[in-house]
Amino acid sequence: MPDDLIALAKENKITLKFWEFHPPVEAIYFYYPGKNPVIGLDYRITKDLNHFRCVLAEELGHFFTTRQETNIIHYHCRNRIGIYREEYQALVWAVNYLIPDDELEKAYKLMPPWKLKDFFRVDPEFMAFKLSLSKDKLLDCLKQVNPQP
């Protein structure tokens, strides 16, 4: 289990509940003013630890990036087509939490890119998103390792 993410939820008084959702919904973040936030997770995603970490991190991202003044409900669907601004912000928070820039730079110098998802224990799409956010930094990192004449 992703103990660090569960501890972060507890520390912030976020209730985690496991339910059976109908695909493609895998998780939900709900906040009602004056109440503790709730993250509902489909129990089936716990079978894939990497995916479970990604989903839980993204739902926690809603807590850390969304204004907590109104009713808020966010659903996580594995095959989303459009990403709204709040979804995007939550996803950015999640990839930055699970794949910190400094650790990514170190790993990028030590291994080929296709091994990074296993090293960080995340979904391939999650890793691809982080790499797209970090491409300029990583290119600079590579230039420092292999300076061109």
| Contacts of 108 by beta carbon, 8 Å cutoff, 6+ apart | 116, 138, 141, 142
What are the tens digits of pLDDT across the range 74-94?
A: 566 554 544 577 888 899 999
Kindly tell me if the per-residue pLDDT of 106 is higher than 70.
yes
**Residue range of the domain that includes 110:** 99-143
| The domain boundary residue, chosen from 82, 98, 114 | 98
- Any idea what the CATH number is for the domain that residue 29 is in? 3.30.2010
pLDDT at 12: 96
**Percent of the chain beyond pLDDT 90?**
59
CA distance 60 to 29: 8
Whether residue 22 lies inside any domain: the answer is yes
Residues 17 and 66 in one domain: yes
Dihedral through CA 114, CA 116, CA 122, CA 125, nearest 10? -40
Report the predicted TM-score, pTM, of the whole model to 2 decimal places. Answer: 0.83
Rg of the chain over Cα atoms, rounded to whole angstroms, equals 17
What are the tens digits of pLDDT across the range 14-56?
A: 999 999 999 889 999 988 888 999 999 999 999 999 999 999 9
CA distance 59 to 105: 25
